């Protein structure tokens, strides 16, 4: 089980995502570790064949759920079916320290 922050609940409401939807993304989405977070992203090809005819699950393609490093707390959720995976892959693999951020500027 996981904890959902107040911010994540607000974002879920704005994006019309229920707890069942979030669990579905956890079950069928691919995990990525980027920028000091664990991100589950559901692509259309990740949907099981038996769920493809159901519009309820197809609308979740392109949904990302962002968790803390340990995967216990949901920080936020967002959707971007066209460029979502590209945005995730461009993020740093590791969390940058303040020193590293200053060096980049």
Can you tell me the distance from the alpha carbon of 27 to that of 21, in angstroms, rounded to the nearest whole number?
10
* pTM of the complete model beyond 0.85: no
- Compute the radius of gyration of the chain from its Cα atoms: 15
Q: What is the pLDDT of residue 18?
A: 93
Q: What is the pLDDT of residue 48?
A: 85
pLDDT digits over 24-57, tens only?
999 999 998 887 788 899 988 888 888 777 788 8
């Amino acid at each position: 089980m996981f904890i959902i922050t107040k911010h994540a609940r607000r974002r879920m409401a704005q994006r019309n995502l229920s707890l069942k939807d979030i669990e579905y993304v956890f079950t069928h989405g691919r995990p990525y570790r980027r920028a000091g977070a664990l991100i589950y992203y559901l692509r259309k090809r990740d949907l099981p064949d038996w769920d493809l005819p159901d519009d309820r699950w197809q609308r979740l393609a392109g949904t990302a759920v962002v968790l803390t490093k340990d995967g216990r707390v949901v920080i936020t959720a967002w959707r971007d079916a066209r460029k979502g995976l590209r945005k995730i892959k461009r993020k740093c693999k590791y969390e940058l320290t303040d020193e590293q951020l200053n060096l980049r500027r």
